[in-house]
Every structure is written in C-alpha cells, then in structure tokens.
Amino acid sequence: MKGLSPGSVAQGLAMPEDEFLRRLSRSGAERLLASDGTIPLEAVDRIVTMVRATPDGPAASPLRADGVSLDDMMRKSGVRRLDGAPDPARGAPSPRPAPPPARPPPAPAQAIESPPPKVDSLRSDPLLRDRLLQSEVQLDRARQQITELREQLAAQQGRAMKRVAELEQRLVDRDALAHELQRQLDAAKAAPEPATGAPSEPPPAPDQDALATLNALLRERGLIGEDEAAAAVRALIAAHRWAPIADTLQVPSPDPVRATLQHRLVLHCEREGCPVPAGVTPVRVGQERCEMCGGTDAERVLRRFSEALLLHGLRRLLLVGGALGVHRILSEHVDHRIELRLVPGNTGRSLADVRADRAFAQLVLLWDEGIQERVLVSLYDDGAPPRTIHLTRPSLARSLEQAIDALEVSDG
C-alpha cells in the first residue's frame, strides 16, 4: 500500500503545509520518508510526534544535487546574509551582549502525550477513507450474520420443543393403548363360558384303540427301538404308503407338533452357498420354495443388509417372529458391530418386556406370520419410534431385501 502525502498529514494536524515541511526538516524526520517523498503508513505516528516536538523556525539551507548548499553559493558570489547569521568563511563576528536566557524547551514527555490526529481530519485521505469504508462494510456484514444465526437458533429450538411435545404425547397414547389391550385380555380370560340352555350330554368315552400312539402301533407290529421305527416309516414313505396313515392320525394338542415342525425343519434348496442353520433338519425343495434364499443369493443379501444398517447408523436390531433357523442364520452372518435381540413369535411377552425391547432397538423387524399372539404386533408397532418394518415374504433373503428397500425408500 502507498504512503501518505505530507500535505494530507499536515491537513490532518491542522497545520500549514510549509510549516509542516519546515518542522519535518528541522526535526530530522526526513530520513523516514519513502523514496517517492511520501510518508510510509508505519512511520506516520513517529513523524507526527517528532514534528509536534520541534518548534517552528527558518528551514535549513537546501542542497543541490551536487551537495553544494545555497549558503556556499551566496558566499562565493559576495552576497552577505541579512539575518545576521555568522559566516564560517569570514570567521566569528565580534562578540555581542549576551542575550537573555532562553526558555527551556518543552519536555519530550509532553510531545509524546500529544493527542493523535483526529479521525475526521484523516478522512480526507482517499486511502484511509477506503479502509474505513471497508471496515464499516465488514462490520455490518458480521452484524447481519449474527442476527441470522440467532434467528436460525430460535427456529431450531422451537422445532425441537415441538418434536419433544409430539413424542411425549405419543408415549402417553401408547401407554393408554397398552393398558386398554391388557384390560381386554384380562377380561377375556376371566369371562365365564357362555350358557347354552339345557346342559349338553357328556361326550362318549373315547375308544381305547383311538388313543394309541404311532409308536405304540409300531411296537405292536414287532418293531423294537427308535431306529427300527424310523426305518419302517422311511420305507413306507419311499413306497408312497405313508399318506393313508398320516391322514388317519389326529393330534389332540397340535401346538407342540407345530412348534417342532416350524423350528426343527427347514425347507432348503441344498444349493452351494445357501446357508443351512445349525441344529435344524433340511428338507430339499425347489429354489423358489427355499426358506433361506428364495431363489436369490442369500449370502450377498445378508452382506447388503449389514451394510444398509451401518450406513443408516442402526447398531441395535430387534426381530420379533421368525423360525429358529432364521434367528441362527442372522446371528452367524450379520456384522458383529450390530447388536441383535431375537424374540421368537411363539413366546409370550409382557408389557414390561415390550417396553424394554422398544427402548433397546433402533429398528424393529416384525415377521408377521411367525407371531402367534396378534396383540404383540400392535404393541410393537404403535406409530412411535423406533421405526418398524413388517416382513411379509416367506424366505429370509427375500424378507431382508424387503427391509433394505424400505430403508432406501426412506432416504428418498
């Protein structure tokens, strides 16, 4: 940046320019000037102090370019000084009476403590005026940004308070729904059997032969032990003679048999790469009926599912429903950074258990067909967080693809 002209600084000091130049010369501050005769910005304060501390008086004799002063030229031409100053070439003049003692010069401290130039007087300089204008523009811009940030903060606080109020209301509504469902369930259990008018006759005593189990009949046939019984059943199945026997069998308590078939058998395509859960007996079927892959690449889908959960910041997963084999495959193949909580669909859950499960989970998967107590579906999915996805496809891989699609749709 260029320096200031001596005239602008003299104007700022409210001093005539010729007086300023004289004091500048007498104080020796000329050595601080730039090569172009301007005053550098970093030397303004020092030069002003030196000029203020120097009294006004006749300026020193200027020099020519060859170093010869004007006094020397006048002396060589025979011109005598009119101000009575001594001429070095003629020797000292005759002594004069001693002048009265001069007043002591002002203390340097008073010159240092002189007030700085007024801003109003310096505004006339174009460079200083531009710098002041830029500073004012930057200050106005900073004030405007602070105002905008305060408005944004107030708006965010308002939205946060509104969201908190909505969540609190949802929690109240969910608790009310849970209490109402629990009341209806207790009332249904305590209700007496409906009256049917005249008492019905007691059912006839069952035939003892009808109560015989299949194992008892096999032993009666002469088969000893589980191995011989299993071999006989396999032989009947291979000969396509098992269907007539199976149609005549009746199960008085189907739930245990249903649970065994659900959790101890898995329909499997037996393709290489299709995972087989441990402790479960596979029954070979076509790829489209496979309960693990459903005809797709199950291992690739399991990797995509883990990546989708991590990408969305979901580290705690709750699965309600699904067979034992599904739970084991998820435990073995889902990324270890994801914490799983697996709830079988045939087990009862109290209201406290449901609350604990929901507090744990960041995402809830409901395998609808595997949940026997339908009231659990409404307790786990009442519209409040965490997010719930219903799985409706028969195979594990296809169900996980359904969950991945639901997460991607939420991003869009």
Q: How far from each other are the two terminal CA atoms of the chain, in whole angstroms?
A: 54
* Tokens representing residue 117 in the block: 């130039």
* Tokens representing residue 293 in the block: 């892959």
Residue 348 contacts residue 373 (beta carbons within 8 Å): yes
Residue 296 contacts residue 312 (beta carbons within 8 Å): no
**Amino acid in the structure at residue 259:** A
Q: How far apart are CA 5 and CA 157, in angstroms?
A: 55
Reading across the β-sheet that carries 387-391, which strands appear in turn?
Answer: 339-343, 316-320, 363-367, 387-391
* Tokens representing residue 62 in the block: 């200027």
CB count within 10 Å of CB 344 equals 21
Q: How far apart are CA 214 and CA 233, in angstroms?
A: 10
CA nearest neighbour of 83 among 69, 93, 73: 93
β-strand pairing of 316-320 with 281-284? unpaired
| Per-residue confidence (pLDDT) for residue 189, from 0 to 100 | 72
* Tokens representing residue 192 in the block: 């007496």
CATH 3.40.50.2300: does it fit domain 297-411?
A: yes
Q: How far apart are CA 86 and CA 99, in angstroms?
A: 16
Residue 385 contacts residue 175 (beta carbons within 8 Å): no
3-class DSSP state of 313: coil
Q: How far apart are CA 31 and CA 21, in angstroms?
A: 13
Burial of 286 (0-12, 13-18, 19+ CB in 10 A): exposed
Q: How far apart are CA 59 and CA 70, in angstroms?
A: 12
Helix, strand, coil share of the chain (percent; to 5): 55, 10, 40
Q: How far apart are CA 328 and CA 310, in angstroms?
A: 20
Q: How far apart are CA 223 and CA 335, in angstroms?
A: 49
Helices (H), 317-370: 324-333, 351-360
Q: What is the three-state SS of 174-196?
A: HHHHHHHHHHHHHHHHHCCCCCC
Burial of 181 (0-12, 13-18, 19+ CB in 10 A): middle
CA nearest neighbour of 291 among 301, 300, 283: 283
Angle among Cα 377, 322, 249 to the nearest 5 degrees reads 105
| Per-residue confidence (pLDDT) for residue 74, from 0 to 100 | 59
3-class DSSP state of 366: strand
| Per-residue confidence (pLDDT) for residue 112, from 0 to 100 | 46
pTM to 2 decimal places: 0.48
pLDDT in tens, the chain (412 residues): 567 888 888 888 888 888 888 888 888 888 888 888 888 888 888 888 888 888 876 544 544 445 445 556 556 666 565 555 555 545 545 555 555 665 665 555 444 445 555 555 555 677 787 788 888 889 988 999 999 999 999 999 988 888 887 777 777 777 767 777 777 777 777 766 555 444 455 555 555 555 578 888 888 888 888 888 888 888 888 888 888 888 888 888 888 888 888 888 999 999 999 999 998 999 999 999 999 999 999 999 999 999 999 999 999 999 999 888 999 999 999 999 999 999 988 777 888 999 999 999 999 999 987 787 778 888 888 888 899 999 999 999 999 999 999 999 877 6
